[in-house]
Amino acid sequence: MSTRLAKGGRLIDRTKPKNFTFNGKRMKGYEGDTLAAALLGEDQMLVGRSFKYHRPRGIVASGAEEPNALVNMGQGGRFEPNQRVTTTELFDGLTCTSQNHWPSLEFDVGVINNYAARFLPAGFYYKTFMAPAPAWKHVFEPIIRKSAGLGKVPTEADLDRYEHFYHHTDVLVVGGGVAGLAAALAAGRSGAKVLVMEQTHHWGGRAPVDGGEIDGLSPEDWINATLAELEGMDSVTLRTRMMGSGVYDHGYALGYERVADHTPGDDRPRHRLWRIRAQQIVTATGSIERPLSFAGNDIPGVMLAAAVRDYAVNWGVSVGDRTVVVTNNDDAYRTALVLKEAGLDVPVILDARDQATGPLAEAARAAGIRVEVGKAIAKVNGGKRVTGVSICSQSGEGSAVEDIACDAVAMSGGWSPVVHLWSHCGGKLIWDEAQSHFRPDPDRAPTGHDGQPFVVTAGAASGAMGLADVLSDAYEAGKQAAKAAGGKAVRKAGPKADPEATQPMAPVWIMPQGAGHQKRMKMWLDYQNDVKVSDVQLAAREGYESVEHTKRYTTLGMATDQGKLSNINGLAVLSDALGQPIPATGTTTFRPPYTPISFGAIAGEARHEIFQPIRRTPMHQWHEDAGAYMEPVGHWRRPYCYAKPGETNEQAVHREVLNTREKLGLLDASTLGKLIVKGPDAGKFLDMMYTNMMSNLAVGKCRYGLMCSENGFLSDDGVVARIDEDTWLCHTTSGGADRIYAWMEEWLQTEWWDWKVYVANITEQLAQVAVVGPNARKLLEKLGGMDVSKETLPFMQWKDGKIGDFDARVYRISFSGELSYEIAVPASQGRAFWDKLLEAGEEFGVMPYGTECLHIMRAEKGFIMIGDETDGTVIPQDLGLNWAISKKKEDFLGKRAQLRSHMTDPDRWKLVGLETLDGSVLPDGAYAVAEGNNEYGQRNMIGRVTSTYYSPTLKKGIAMGLVKHGPDRMGEVLDFPTVDGSSTVIKARICDPVFYDKDGEKQNV
Amino acid sequence: MLILECPYCGVVADETDLHGGGEAHLKRFGPGSSDEDFQTYLFHRANPKGVHFERWRHVSGCGKWFHAARNTMTLEVYGTYSAQTYEPPKAIINAVIKKHPEWEGYK
Amino acid sequence: MSNAVSALQGASFDGYCKVEEAGLVGMITLRGDLSSAGVAKAVKAATGAAMPGQGEITEGAKGRAGWMSPDELLLIVDHAKAADFVAAASKSLAKEHALVVNVSDARAVYRVTGDAVREVLAKLSPADTAAMVPGQIRRTRIAQIPAAFYLTDEKTAELICFRSVAQYAFDILKDAAMSGGEVGV
């Protein structure tokens, strides 16, 4: 059984116990524990079930590479699935539950898949769920959905906050092991600005576990002395609990800081995503031990040899009383020695190599440990827990020569550098034959904006093995990065360790090398996704030659651990099956993040009310206080209508229409875009921007204008006012202000840069109110100030002056067909102006109205709306707006395109009015159909509805639509089938789109 | 996540402060142009694997459009320059040639 | 004008930095030839400040002048006087190609105060705030909106954004300045 040792554990504080629960069971650990260490300390070896076969799964590793031990963490608003216990710091009150089983971890029905494993080979889904087609929807998909996914989906809103932090540095060092610290030392000594990040909460990585001496000090003492020196440098920032998540273009890197995962609810942001720009990046990301592929290598109790050592040294936890060590290299002997030192039993070290002659092997023998060379594990015995191993010769087919009882197996297949960050942005790898791993090729580093390399690897991440090589490689990397980032030359010597003699490792991809199919079906490559040696071999037989295809076919390396343990073994097996060397197979692509990061961290501050910017007019608060139903218009929120108590929104809209037509309405029109265009060439410029002529507009007058893209399509509209000899004010749609401002700037800066024109976007400088209705003039006259009579201020003119006490610019323009003034005042006085209008307007029956009332009134008048009548494929000619297209101008944006054959096609759908025969309202977007079908067997269509409303004024449905040859078919009745499943066809007659006051008598008074 | 130096305000701007505008140095064809010329202007864009001249706007910054000479494969930036030019300036061309003597040149 | 109000009417928040809306601030956009003597004179007349160079903001007796682009300045003046300055500058620059507009009410201004002022801004903006010094102005974005900011001293930044997103700007600055969020770099 796994247990807490009586002594030891360099990272834990035994005076500070921490209580937690696993599947409801109360457990205890210590401050400094990871959840993994605490679970093992409580003999909780079984922690989950695998994805496909629901096999029992235990902890395999001690760090970020852990594939198995994922749990549901926390509760309520702090619940999160798939949390890796090896990277979770223990805290008081932690609760977690195991995943992927039903009804319980100990007894799981899904394990039936395990017994059916031989019927669930690689590509099972692709091969099985192909036919009949309806079975997918009704049979296969529901079953697969039910069994898909690890963990539970959170059901409550996240209680925590998250944030981003932008940081600029000369040198970024990822990894705070001895390599990272040595690199940081070199960079820091150069005077460069340095950021060092370490993913765990302790510095020094695995050096204190592995031992040795640095500059005559124990690793622990050297780490402390080095930290003291780095902390003394102002230019160096040290951060723990921060993982290098990804390296991107031009020195961009993401650091994932887990600020408060271990102190939930302490009001700090849970995670902080550092968005870093570094001149140079040093990846001191260490290396990961590889598992060995032998039958039963997934049974709980089989662990990586270095992890077994970590649990003993760092946390004082023994994984088993009797641990068999199986290896192809010297390093695993350290585990045997550590266990022996702790008073635990190591019945045998199985070394797959033909001999074991290194100093570590000698030390093991000297410690009285039995060492068997040329030996392998034939199979592991046990179900939910290791009970023993059968051993065999590595060179044979696996006939057991001896059974050895044990409760843990420590395996080591050699070490692979963590090359992820190096590879994210294009760093290339080379195959190292001696170490049987891919390591970064220093000659093919990722390059930055200047074409120069910006990533350098340090220590084990470079492929350096042994303390001496790690330190010298890392210090050199730090120096190199600092120099490239513009730091001073570093003369001071770096840290040193004595080289150690080691015996070369021997590559072992399956164990024993001649294992038959039965054994290969039990050799796990990918623990989480249940991919075995036999699956990869099957894929190769079925013709999957590309490693990327094999990955997707077998799901090898596609689990949440992204194949940190499985990939190299998998491609070695694939290469062998394909009969080619490993470098010819290559690796799959390494993509960020290094380990999964939270959605919260990615979103940062963008949550709840600050999920996105909401734009508010100066009168916004009044609208909200009045209970307006708000609708989004771009990022603006505008009142749709102001429903009174007991009124539906529809009733409110109808009341607003009638009140405005009969008495007086107020619209907050502040969102309308307002652009000042000024300069000697402003007229010429506006003649290019608009389809109609603007240069000849008289000062004091207004003109409705259309803007098109170079494709000819109608893009925006609005009223233009000539302010003075060289100044125009252009109104745009509410959603179009920023876009049209940018559009004007683009043409001025990139095409007509010699034209003297300046543009300013003053949309938000002004609050604008439309005062609309037969009583509009009475209200303004009551307020006093400027003369707003028909004679002084006729329709389509504007004037500056006073309305009451307010400095105002008043436009006689109308989007409703009524007598209407649009009045602009400084935004700071917008609310006061609005209040004043309401107060003074009471005797005239004033009521505010919203956007829906505006829409209905303009539709009654047959005015088009950008976004309703247009959709990016409609030209002004389609809308009967030829009167607004200048024939005199040689050029304007869109003119050339409107001459293309498709644009002049007489068959284009054109704008008409539509009235239903029964007075009902046509469905929005409904299509008019003609006889017959098109080449795809679909009903022929000849038109569609673009705007449709119930007109309270006319007491019937009115609509506009685009219809083939529409204007030539006045009075014709069209069929509009509904799409509600009934076979109803609505009949509507083509009519003039102007339904109300065709002669414009009401607005021109 | 590119960084480009805005030639107008001197700021080395993050890509999130910028807005890409596609191929640079297009010649506008208006009324009177042939269908072929107009079609090329409107729709045809170079999409080279390698050296490329692009338009960018420093949208969250000074608001100015500028041009960048960039490698679409390595993301190396050879230089940024004024948008008020009909073709890349000599210094930019030289910077590209220095890195890629085999480069076929700007057409 | 007695009834004029700023977007958030001086709202403030105390976190590990203080965030407060600066109330009504006069602002003028001046577009023109920045090398012309007329523009320099207009800047001097409105603010008392010298002509700012690229990326700079200068201070005078009556206000500040910030460099916004090669042909644009932002003049920061007393709100009540902005309209008069616009009229005066428009008149004095009538002979040259220039545009002077009052944008006081199109904007909201925030003051962020505290030792960690650069850090709070660095949570929202990709600009290298650690390298910024008083006298520089940076136009960039904060979270999802455009903004401009400058340091008036080592502990104070002033930030300008559009008025319509004043609430959003205040809320994200608050969020960034909330106690417990100290980064400590």
Smallest CA–CA separation between C71 and chain B, in Å?
Answer: 10
Q: Which residues of chain B neighbour A710 with C-beta distances below 8 Å?
A: 42
pLDDT of residue A55: 86
Contact status, residue B99 vs residue B76, Cβ threshold 8 Å: yes
Closest-CA residue of chain A to C71? A758
Going from the C-alpha of A196 to that of each of A337, A538, A540, A787, C166, the distances in angstroms are 33, 45, 43, 71, 37
| Residue type for position B54 | E
For chain B, what is the domain count?
1
3-state secondary structure A649-684: HHHHHHHHHHHHHHCEEEEECCCCEEEEEECCCHHH
Q: At a CB cut-off of 8 Å and minimum separation 6, what does A138 contact? A: none
Mean of pLDDT values over A484-501: 94
Confidence of residue A860 (pLDDT cuts 50, 70, 90): very high
Q: Which residues of chain B neighbour A248 with C-beta distances below 8 Å?
A: 1
Q: Give bridge partners of residue A103 from the DSSP assignment.
A: A108
Q: Give the rounded distance of the alpha carbon of A646 from its chain centre.
A: 43
B55 touching A (Cβ < 8 Å): yes
Dihedral (Cα; A338, A343, A344, A350), 10-degree rounding? 50
Smallest CA–CA separation between A762 and chain C, in Å?
Answer: 7
Smallest CA–CA separation between C39 and chain A, in Å?
Answer: 15
Query: How many C-alpha atoms does A273 have within 13 Å on its Cβ side?
Result: 24
Closest-CA residue of chain B to A278? B3
The reply to whether residue B75 touches residue A749, judged by beta carbons under 8 angstroms, is no
* Cα gap A262→A265, rounded to integer Å: 10
Which CATH number is B70's domain given? Answer: 3.30.2270.10
* Cα gap A296→A411, rounded to integer Å: 12
Nearest to C43 by CA among C95, C97, C79, C85: C85
* Cα gap A858→A657, rounded to integer Å: 11
| Residue type for position A938 | Q
pLDDT of residue A635: 95
Which tens digits make up the pLDDT trace of A23-38?
999 999 999 999 999 9
Identify the three-state secondary structure at position B47: coil
Query: How many C-alpha atoms does A311 have within 13 Å on its Cβ side?
Result: 34
pTM of the model: 0.95
| Residue type for position A838 | L
Nearest to A656 by CA among A773, A751, A744, A756: A773
Contact status, residue A319 vs residue A311, Cβ threshold 8 Å: yes
Q: At a CB cut-off of 8 Å and minimum separation 6, what does A863 contact? A: A815
The reply to whether residue C141 touches residue B64, judged by beta carbons under 8 angstroms, is no
Smallest CA–CA separation between B49 and chain A, in Å?
Answer: 16
* Cα gap B24→C37, rounded to integer Å: 35
The reply to whether residue B31 touches residue A899, judged by beta carbons under 8 angstroms, is yes
Q: Which CATH superfamily is domain C12-176 in?
A: Probable tRNA modification gtpase trme; domain 1 (3.30.1360.120)
A251 touching B (Cβ < 8 Å): yes
3-state secondary structure A160-194: CCEEEEEEEEEEEEECCEHHHHHHHHHHHHCCCCE
Contact status, residue A81 vs residue A72, Cβ threshold 8 Å: yes
In this structure, the strands spanning A3-4 and A429-432 are unpaired
Contact status, residue A56 vs residue A384, Cβ threshold 8 Å: yes
Q: Give the rounded distance of the alpha carbon of A806 from its chain centre.
A: 49
pLDDT of residue A147: 59
Mean of pLDDT values over A569-584: 94
pLDDT of residue A99: 86
Contact status, residue C76 vs residue C61, Cβ threshold 8 Å: no
The reply to whether residue C166 touches residue A616, judged by beta carbons under 8 angstroms, is yes
Domain coordinates of chain C in residue numbers? 12-176
pLDDT of residue A101: 73
pLDDT of residue A149: 62
Nearest to A291 by CA among A573, A526, A589: A526
pLDDT of residue A100: 76
Is residue B17 domain-resident?
yes
Q: Measured between CB atoms, which of B21, B29, B77 is closest to A896?
A: B29
pLDDT of residue C51: 98
Q: Which residues of chain A neighbour B76 with C-beta distances below 8 Å?
A: 447-451
* Cα gap A504→B30, rounded to integer Å: 73
Q: What is the pLDDT along chain C (185 residues), one digit of tens a residue?
A: 458 999 999 999 999 999 999 999 999 999 999 999 999 999 999 999 999 999 999 999 999 999 999 999 999 999 999 999 999 999 999 999 999 999 999 999 999 999 999 999 999 999 999 999 999 999 999 999 999 999 999 999 999 999 999 999 999 999 999 999 999 98
Beta strands in A905-996 (DSSP E): 909-916, 927-933, 939-951, 956-964, 973-977, 985-991
Confidence of residue A107 (pLDDT cuts 50, 70, 90): confident
* Cα gap C141→C128, rounded to integer Å: 12
pLDDT of residue B106: 84
Q: Tell me the percentage of chain A whose pLDDT exceeds 70.
A: 96
Identify the three-state secondary structure at position C150: strand
pLDDT of residue A538: 93
Is residue B56 domain-resident?
yes
Which tens digits make up the pLDDT trace of A952-989?
999 999 999 999 999 999 999 999 999 887 889 999 99
Is residue B107 domain-resident?
no
Residue B91: domain span: 3-99
DSSP codes, A681-700: THHHHHHHHBSS--TTPPTT
In this structure, the strands spanning A194-197 and A162-174 are parallel
Smallest CA–CA separation between B91 and chain A, in Å?
Answer: 15
Residues across chain A = 1005
pLDDT of residue A560: 85
pLDDT of residue A843: 98
A724 touching C (Cβ < 8 Å): no
In this structure, the strands spanning A766-772 and A820-826 are antiparallel
A384 touching C (Cβ < 8 Å): no
| Residue type for position A846 | V
In this structure, the strands spanning A13-22 and A94-98 are parallel
A673 touching C (Cβ < 8 Å): no
Q: Which residues of chain B neighbour C69 with C-beta distances below 8 Å?
A: 8-9, 62-64
Nearest to A733 by CA among A818, A593, A854: A854
Q: What is the pLDDT along chain B (107 residues), one digit of tens a residue?
A: 899 999 999 999 999 999 999 999 999 999 999 999 999 999 999 999 999 999 999 999 999 999 999 999 999 999 999 999 999 999 999 999 999 999 988 87
Report the complex ipTM.
0.98
Chain B neighbours (≥3 Cβ pairs under 8 A) are A, C
A732: number of Cβ within 10 Å: 28
The reply to whether residue B17 touches residue C140, judged by beta carbons under 8 angstroms, is yes
A165 touching B (Cβ < 8 Å): no
Query: How many C-alpha atoms does A267 have within 13 Å on its Cβ side?
Result: 7
Contact status, residue C126 vs residue B14, Cβ threshold 8 Å: yes
Q: What are phi and psi of B36, to 5 degrees?
A: -65, -45
Residue A141 pLDDT > 90: no
Identify the three-state secondary structure at position A721: strand
pLDDT of residue A152: 85
Residue A139 DSSP label: I
pLDDT of residue A145: 61
pLDDT of residue A118: 64
Residues across chain C = 185
Chain A neighbours (≥3 Cβ pairs under 8 A) are B, C
Angle (nearest 5°) at CA A470 between A466 and A472: 125
Confidence of residue A88 (pLDDT cuts 50, 70, 90): very high
Q: Which residues of chain B neighbour C72 with C-beta distances below 8 Å?
A: 62-63
Smallest CA–CA separation between C87 and chain B, in Å?
Answer: 25
Nearest to A753 by CA among B65, C96, B80, C98: B65
Residue A446 pLDDT > 80: yes
Q: Give bridge partners of residue A556 from the DSSP assignment.
A: none
pLDDT of residue C3: 85
